[in-house]
A and B are shown apart, each in its own frame.
Chain A
C-alpha cells in the first residue's frame, strides 16, 4: 500500500506558525478558564475576544465547507464560540484548544445540516432546490475580472469537493482547510489515525479523477 499523503507543501511550511498559534491559543484558553473560575467574567470576556480573533478565519472556512451556505456558516461559528465560552470550565488544558474547539464546531455544523435537511423535507420543492437559495446579501459580489480568472476553476474544484463522500470530505477539510494534523483530525472525528490517512488518500485520489475527467457538473 502506498504511503498516505502527507500535508500539502504550504501547510507543511505553515505548520510551525500554526503549532505556535495553537499552543498560544491553548494557553489563552487555560487563562480564560482560570478567570471564569475565579469569577472574573469581564476579564475573561476580554481575553476571549483575542481567542475569537485568532481562530475565527479558520472556523469560518471549516464551517463553510461543511454547510456551503454563508449565513449558516456564520451562525454555526457564532454558536460554536458561545458554546466554548459557556463550557470553558470543562476545557482540559492537556488537549490542544484547537482540537476541542473544532470538535464543537463540527458537531454544530452537523446538527445544522440535519436540521436543514429536515426543514427542506417539509418545505416547498421550490425552496428545496439549491439553485433557488437566496443569494447572500452581505457577501460582496466579485468583479467581472475576478470572475473571469477564478470562476471556472474555482467552481470545478468546489463541485469536485462536494462530490466527495461525507467522511472523505470532512477529513480533507480538516487536514487541508483547517490545517490540522492527521492525529488532531483523528481526535476531532473520533477515528483512528490510520483511518484518517486512508480517507485523506482516497479523497485526493477521487478529486484527481473528478478534475481530470471534468466530471464535476460545472
Chain B
C-alpha cells in the first residue's frame, strides 16, 4: 500500500485512517453528550455536597427509641421488672411438691431373664413395684397445675423408655 509514498504521504494516510476510526466511535451526538456532561460536572464544582435528609419515619432507630422513651414505656418496663422479681420470690416459697425442678427418683426396671434378647418390652414386663411407683407419679402429675400437665405430656414416660430400649 505504501511502495511509492513519501514519508509525509504515508504519515498522512496513517493519520487519516486513525482519525476515521476515532470519528466513527465518537459521532457528533456522542460529543454533544460528552459536552453536556462536562458542563454538568463543572457546574457541580462550586456547590457544596447536598445532604439528603432521611425520612422521619425511618429516622428513629432502635437505640434512639430506648434513649428517648416515653413515660408509658418506662411504666411498662418497671412493671415487667416487678413481675419478674415477684415470680422469683414466689417460686422460692412454693412447697417442695409443687416445685417444677423437684428431683424424681425413678428406679430403672431391670430386664427380666426371660425378656433378654428381645427388643420389645411391654408394660406387662414391668414388675409390680414399678407399676405402683408409676401410678403414684401419674397421680402426682394430675394434681399439678394445667400448665405442667402439658409439659408432662411432652416428656417421655418411664414405660415408653423401657419399651423403646
**A residues engaging B (CB < 8 A)?**
5-11, 41, 45, 48-49, 52-53, 56-57, 60-61, 64-65, 70, 73-74, 77-78, 81-82, 85-86, 136, 138-140, 142, 150, 153-154, 156-158, 160-161, 172-173, 176-177, 201, 204-205, 207-208, 211-212
Contacts and interface: CB of A to CB of B under 8 A. Distances in A.
Contacts of A176: 11-12, 14-15
B7 A204 contact: yes
A182 B42 CA distance: 32
A150 B21 CA distance: 9
Given A138-B30, A176-B14, A207-B14, A78 B41 contact: yes
Contact of A74 (B13, B15, B34): B34
Given A85-B42, A86-B45, A212-B3, A154 B17 contact: yes
A74 B22 CA distance: 11
A136 B18 contact: no
B22 A140 contact: no
Chief secondary structure at chain A's binding surface: helix
Interface residues of B, number: 36
Nearest to B1: A211
Interface in B37-64: 37-39, 41-43, 45-46
A211 B17 contact: no
A212 B10 CA distance: 11
16 contacts: A8-B8, A8-B9, A8-B12, A9-B12, A10-B12, A56-B34, A60-B34, A64-B25, A64-B26, A78-B37, A136-B25, A153-B17, A157-B13, A157-B17, A172-B14, A211-B10
Nearest to B35: A52
Contacts, number: 124
B31 interface: yes
A64 B22 contact: yes
B24 interface: yes
A5 B15 CA distance: 15
A170 to B, nearest CB: 13
A56 B46 contact: no
From B2, B11, B17, B21, residue with most partner A Cβ within 10 Å: B11
A56 B20 contact: no
Contact of A57 (B3, B17, B20, B31): B31
Contacts of B117: none
Contact of A53 (B19, B26, B35): B35
